[in-house]
Structure 1
Amino acid sequence: MIQIVGAITAGAAALGGAGLTAVGNALFDFALNPSSKRSIMARINSGEGSGLDVGAYAQDPFRQEARAWFLEARRDATVEAARGGGVLHGWRIWGPGVVPSDDGRRSPESPDTAHRYLILCHGYSGQPSDLAGEAMLAHRAGFSVILPAARGHERNRDRYVGMGWLDAFDLMRWIQMIVTFDPEAKIALYGVSMGAAEVMMASGLDLPPQVRCIVEDCGYTSVWDELAQQMGDLMHLPVHPLLDAAERVCRVRAGYGFREASAVDRLRRARVPMLFIHGTADTFVPYRMLDELYDACASEVKEKVSFEGAGHGASSQSDPGRYWETVSGFLFRYL
Structure 2
Amino acid sequence: MKKFLHSLFIFFIGLLIGAILTFNTLGLILGNILYMELSNPQLNINLTSIVNHSQDLTRINQYQQENPNAQKVALYTPYGDSSRELVGTFINNNSKYKKTIILIHGLYQNRSMCLNYVNIYKQLGFNVLLIDLRGHGESDGIITWGQTEIRDIDMWCDYLRNTKQQELIGIHGISLGGAFALLHSGLSVHPADFYIEDSSYSDLKGLYYNHLHSMIQLPNDSKILDILWIYSQVCMYWHTGSTLDKLAPLKAVAHSTSPTLFLHGSADTLIPPNTLQELYDNCRATKSMHMFKDSTHAQAISNYPNEYFNVIKDFLVNNHFTTIQN
TM-score (norm 2): 0.76
Per-residue displacement from partner, 1:298-332 (whole Å, max 9, x unpaired)? 11x20010112222212222222211221233235
Say what the alpha-carbon RMSD is for the aligned residues.
3.1
* Correspondence 1:1-335 to 2 at 5 A: 16-33=23-40, 40=44, 50-51=51-52, 68-69=62-63, 72=66, 73-80=70-77, 82-97=79-94, 112-139=95-122, 141-157=124-140, 159-206=141-188, 208=190, 211-237=192-218, 239-299=225-285, 301-333=286-318, 334-335=320-321
1:150 match: secondary structure? coil
Q: Which residue does the alignment assign to 2:18?
A: none
* Distance verdict in 2 for CA 1:128–1:84, change over 3 Å: farther
Distance 1:188 1:242 in 2: 38
- Tell whether the 8 Å contact from 1:32 to 1:152 is kept in structure 2 after alignment: no
Distance 1:81 1:165 in 2: 15
- Unmatched 5+ residue regions in structure 1? 1-14, 43-47, 59-63, 98-111
| Structure index of larger Rg | 2
Q: Which residue does the alignment assign to 2:9?
A: none
* Distance verdict in 2 for CA 1:246–1:306, change over 3 Å: same
Per-residue displacement from partner, 1:176-222 (whole Å, max 9, x unpaired)? 1111024452111000111111111111245548x321100111223
Per-residue displacement from partner, 1:152-188 (whole Å, max 9, x unpaired)? 222334x231223431222111111111024452111
Residue-pair matches, total: 287
* Distance verdict in 2 for CA 1:247–1:70, change over 3 Å: farther
Shift in Å at residue 31 of structure 1? Answer: 2.3
- Tell whether the 8 Å contact from 1:70 to 1:136 is kept in structure 2 after alignment: no
- Tell whether the 8 Å contact from 1:280 to 1:309 is kept in structure 2 after alignment: yes
TM-score (norm 1): 0.74
Per-residue displacement from partner, 1:5-62 (whole Å, max 9, x unpaired)? xxxxxxxxxx94344334323322322146xxx65589xxxxx98239x9xxx9xxxx
Amino acid of the residue matched to residue 198 of structure 2? D
- Tell whether the 8 Å contact from 2:45 to 2:51 is kept in structure 1 after alignment: no
* Distance verdict in 2 for CA 1:116–1:233, change over 3 Å: farther
- Tell whether the 8 Å contact from 1:81 to 1:173 is kept in structure 2 after alignment: no
Distance 2:272 2:64 in 1: 31
